[in-house]
Structure 1
Amino acid sequence: MAGFLTTHVLDTARGCPADGLKIVLYKVTGNSHRKLVEIETNSDGRTNSPIFPQEDFKTGTYELIFYAGDYLRASGQSGDEPLFLDQIPIRFGMSDAEAHYHVPLLLSPYGYSTYRGS
């Protein structure tokens, strides 16, 4: 079985999944970023398919950009401009070609956290 990448975004301020949050995946090589996928979360805060499906999966260094500012504006949580959080980059490595990598985001207007999920 080949590896794959998923995410789940939860709005911890409102206590619900973050619906409609844009996410972009980049392959990182040195100082170079190559855009691979642009996807959006569904009503469960997940994407309808893996961000990086098994048939395309490769190990390496990647970066997910979560467009939190757009989501916070749309959900009425943005506050004053400029926003404290706008685009949230999470750079991570995937070294196991057979693993499921899950990179969730717990989001509020003034903070976030992530971890390697299951």
Structure 2
Amino acid sequence: MISQGSSERNISIVIESTQLERAIGAIQSINAEGTVIRDFTYNSDVCAMSVVGAEMAGTPGVAGEIFSALGKEEISIIMISQGSSEFNISFVVKKKDAYKAAQAIHDMFKMGM
């Protein structure tokens, strides 16, 4: 998952933890002269999650409902990404909140877990 803030000069990416060292090496090689990237950090204590459904496209309020369900459980969202197809919304939460987030979304859509 890749996300770029429109008003900020940053790019956030999510990769598998097994690829972390390789990604750091790639970032360092891109920035060998220190002129492209000012700084980079990583956080391995996160979980990427996605909500996927064909009916989501063109249905106002789905993202709001998802994030409200997470907010009611006091789960902070670290990163959000949605493709232009509107078939899915992906987001990142702390690992410790992943199960509770999945449960909240399943409850919201009235799905068993």
Q: TM-score, normalised by structure 2?
A: 0.31
| Greater relative contact order (CA < 8 Å, ≥ 6 in sequence) | 1
Structure with max Cα Rg: 2
Which structure's residues are more often helix, by fraction?
2
- Whichever structure has more strand as a proportion of its residues is 1
